[in-house]
Amino acid sequence: MELIANQQPVDLCGLLKRIELPQPDLGFAFLPQYRNQVFALEAVKLVLADVCERRITDKVLAITSIDNEKSINLLKKLDFSFIELIRSGDNVDETRLFELILET
Q: Spell out the per-residue pLDDT of the chain, length 104, in tens.
A: 666 787 777 778 899 999 889 999 999 887 777 676 677 888 899 999 999 999 999 999 999 999 999 899 999 999 999 999 988 667 678 899 999 999 75
Give the N- to C-terminal CA distance of the chain in Å, as an integer: 27
What's the CATH code, domain 11-101? Answer: 3.40.630.30
Indicate the helix (H) or strand (E) that contains 48: helix 39-54
Q: For residue 10, count CB atoms less than 10 angstroms from its CB and return exposed for 0-12, middle for 13-18, buried for 19 or more.
A: middle
pTM of the model: 0.85
Count of beta carbons in the 10 Å neighbourhood of residue 15: 17
Predicted confidence at residue 9, as pLDDT, reads 73
Structure confidence at residue 7 (pLDDT):
78
